[in-house]
Amino acid sequence: MRIDPVNLKQKNVLVDDYLNDFTKVENKFEYNPYDEATIRQRAAYLNKQSYNRDELVATLTEMNDHWGAPEQTFTMIDKLKDETTSAVVAGQQAGLLTGPLYTVHKIISVIQLAKQQEKQLGTAVVPVFWIAGEDHDFAEINHVMMKSQKKMKKIQLPSNVEQKLSVSDLPFDREVVASWLKKVFAEVKETEITRDFYQTVVKIMDLSESYSDFFARVIYQLFNEEGLIIVDAHHKDIRSLESNHFQRMIEENTSISEGVYAALQKNQLQGYPVPLDSELDDAHLFYHHHEERILLTRDEEGSYKGKRNEVQLTEAELLQIAKERPWQLSNNVVTRPLMQEFIFPVLAFIGGPGEISYWSVLKPAFQAVGLEMPPIYPRLSFTLVDRKAEAALSSLQLELKQVLEHGTASERMKWLAATSNPPIERLSDQIQQEMNEIHKPLREKAAELGPDIGALAEKNIGYLNQMIEFLEQRMLQSVEEKYEREMEAFTELDVLLHPGGGLQERVWNIVPWVNAYGMDVFQQLNKHRLSFNHPHYVVYL
């Protein structure tokens, strides 16, 4: 395994400034992740805070015992009892078979940063992965993308659930999941690993009672040596820990929403669009009522209601729910970071491009509840390249960075054109130029005879150029057929390295890679020390 950093252009302007010119956005964040003093400053801040460590440890122990977590995980959980122990945190929804590769990349990032900062501080730093089990958008996680017939194919888990149930509460139908797994594994080429891999996943499924269970158990199969701690945010015992913090968020709700709204407007004016819907009356809290997850807003009297008036609560009633039945409440993307900060001693948060973008408006929310936003480190990003793809890149003389950013379409046309001498495209352009020159006197004479004849002459040269372009395309098609093997290589590279016009990690799933290289392929990757100064790496397997 060889790992090389590559500097890719960021599509998001704010993220590009965050990574390459932090001074432009430093007022939106509490800490500069690239300042060597940041971690010690943050550790000093955490030493002044208090956390309900004993109950947190008890809850995490019970939860992870249920998942059959590896022994190293419980060692890390016990470390949280120590007042000097801190955590590196990242989170994601409970995607099927982990969802897109970037979920695994986040986990590697959390483990890497925790180790690096523990070495720097000389105190324990534990890696924590927060499952957003309260999320209700099942359509975002109910499928994987698999390569099929030279393109990516969505394999979706069928579901007739109509209510907005949290993912951790959704019925987990093992028969339906088992049938879906067969469809997923039908798309991979059988290797010496396939049978054991499939049986392992089926065994995990049989032990799981929810999609969050299924997710956590799969992750622990992939990472069973690093002491990763997984937490399901929707677990009832976690909600009990959060009771006082929900109350604080309700008491400071107006300040939170107004601060975030103002920051969002400022970002827009500065040319930093943020993928976050936020209005002045948003409560940024959900209420779980009659198996529905209802997003709350505030009215002019300070009461809370659903956006479609599904429920109406006074502030006193909502505070009572937070005190007595906190499991009926959950966070959205604005208040979830606050809750993580309340219950964990967060030394640092790992965020992808989208998260860095919306965290840029959250500083006022942290301030409203008397907290400091933690340092945010951009998660590590990887593109996996097998030997076949590496050989194809070499034989076609393609620059990997160009393919990662733009795909192979333009390079394919250049390659095709270059196979003839002179190149077909250049020959076509030359003929069109010469034709235009030869035809020019005819157009000029036609224009003298009248506007109708002049227009006819212009149309005539247009037809001639179209015919030349048609011939060019047919000639290129003929060349494509002649070089069918090379054309397939371009297509394969595009599907592997630039699927759907973006990075591999946003489309591909773990299945093909584990099937080819084993369950420990990501642990092997994680054994390399990776710098957060290089957000993207190419991994040659």
Nearest Cα to Cα of residue 226 among 100, 99, 75, 328: 75
- Ranges of the chain with pLDDT below 70: 161-163, 417, 420-422, 480
Contacts of residue 484, Cβ cutoff 8 Å, sequence gap at least 6: none
Give one DSSP letter per residue of 278-292, joined into a string.
--TTEEEEEEEETTE
Q: What does the angle CA 393 – CA 396 – CA 400 come to, to the nearest 5 degrees? A: 35
Cβ(127)–Cβ(220) under 8 Å? Answer: no
Phi/psi of residue 184, each to 5°?
A: -65, -50
Half-sphere exposure of 194 (CA within 13 A, CB side): 12
Structure tokens at 410: 């333009």
Q: Note the pLDDT of residue 380.
A: 97
Provide the CA 18 distance to its chain's centre, in angstroms.
17
CA distance 409 to 313: 56
Alpha carbons 135 and 126: distance in angstroms, whole number: 25
Which pLDDT does position 150 carry in this prediction?
87
d(CA 167, CA 53): 27
Residue 214 tokens, joined: 């299924």
pTM of structure: 0.89
Q: In the β-sheet with 536-540, what is the strand arrangement from edge to edge?
A: 2-5, 536-540, 381-385
Sequence-ordered list of residues with C-beta below 8 angstroms from that of 107, at least 6 positions apart, any chain: 90, 127, 129, 219, 222, 223, 228, 522
263-273: string of b/e by CB count within 10 Å (b at 16+)?
bbeebeeeebe
Residue 376 in contact with residue 88, Cβ under 8 Å?
no
pLDDT, tens only, 240-255: 999 999 999 999 999 9
What residue segments make up the domains of the chain, in order of their start? Answer: 388-506
3-state SS, 50-72, equals CCCHHHHHHHHHHHHHHCCCCHH
Contact 443, 461 (CB under 8 A): yes
DSSP letters spanning 149-163: TTEEEEEEPP----S
Instruction: Quote the tokens at residue 28.
Output: 């939106």
Are the beta carbons of 383 and 503 closer than 8 angstroms? yes
Neighbours of 199 (CB within 10 A): 10
Which of these, 164, 156, 160, lies nearest to 99 by C-alpha position?
A: 156
Say what the pLDDT of residue 289 is.
87
Strand (E) or helix (H) holding 221: helix 211-222
Residues linked to residue 145 through DSSP beta bridges, in sequence order: 154, 508
What pLDDT, on the 0 to 100 scale, is given for residue 217? 97
